[in-house]
Amino acid sequence: MSGEFIFGWHVVEAVLKREPERLQQVWIQTGRQDKRVKGITAALDDLGVRWSVVHRKELDEKVSGVHQGIVAAVSESREWGEDDLMAMLAGSDKPPFLLVLDGVTDPHNLGACMRTADAVGVQAVIVPKDKSATLTPVARKVACGAAETVPFVRVTNLARCLRTLKDEGVWLIGTAGEAGSTLYQANFTGAVALVMGAEGKGMRRLTREHCDALINIPMQGHVDSLNVSVATGVCLYEALRQRLA
């Protein structure tokens, strides 16, 4: 058996629904016999995927995190690259709506950003391969299944990818505390990519230089910044409000 472990009910159900061929084996904690368990085990039986009921200690030994009583061994998911992204955008009849995370390193933040991206209809999340969190089991758990629905694109050269997006008519809106315009003055209605910086440091210089516009989130209290996943959620929902209107 080769691949990785995933855990949490939402994550396992998302793989079961969308990529069942990846499932290799599933372990469920003793003591649960509810409808959710029966539904998953019946689906696993139909697929011919092995599953077993084990004590919590065995699940604790397999993964680090709150597994909720279910762990699955899966084959590695296909990694998206820049060519895959461009092919996907070319085949879509919707104006691009993308999220770029420039160096977000905390898997919890990445998972939360993926979950919000799925909720608002983002077509892909783009990150650099270096100095950036990947879809670890923890990130997938926090994403609650969104990591299995939203393409996660890792690019070798983020600046080059941003240039390509600009050439394709995508408007790049970056976030920076010192920006002169606010989130609510930005136009998110067309082909757009929201660019968020890393925890603490914000966007790198080259990333900032490729943005067509810089915006800030108005802050009325004593703190001067938001957690990156919270800030991403605030910005993405303003974008969704405009796009729905």
Q: What does DSSP say about strands 23-29 and 50-54: parallel, antiparallel, or unpaired?
A: parallel
Say if residue 126 carries a ligand binding annotation: no
Region of residue 197 (left: phi > 0; alpha: psi -120 to 50; beta: else):
beta
pLDDT of 173-217, one tens digit each? Answer: 999 988 889 999 999 999 999 999 988 888 999 999 999 999 999
- Check residue 177 and give its pLDDT: 82
Encoded amino acid at 207, one letter: T
pLDDT of 68-91, one tens digit each? Answer: 999 999 998 778 999 999 999 999
Note whether 102 and 203 are within 8 A (CB). Answer: yes
- Check residue 65 and give its pLDDT: 79
Note whether 165 and 29 are within 8 A (CB). Answer: no
C-alpha distance from residue 79 to each of 9, 95, 154, 163, 202 (Å): 23, 23, 7, 21, 25
Q: What does DSSP say about strands 152-155 and 192-197: parallel, antiparallel, or unpaired?
A: unpaired
pLDDT of 9-34, one tens digit each? Answer: 999 999 999 889 999 999 999 987 78
Domains of the chain: 4-74 (3.30.1330.30), 82-244 (3.40.1280.10)
Residue 61, classed as helix, strand or coil, is helix
- Check residue 185 and give its pLDDT: 96
| Location of structure tokens 């879809």 | 135
pTM > 0.75: yes
Say if residue 215 carries a ligand binding annotation: no
pLDDT of 44-71, one tens digit each? Answer: 999 999 999 999 999 999 988 789 999 9
Say if residue 226 carries a ligand binding annotation: yes
CA-wise closest residue to 136 among 152, 122, 125: 152
pLDDT band at 3, cuts 50/70/90?
A: confident
d(CA 142, CA 120): 17
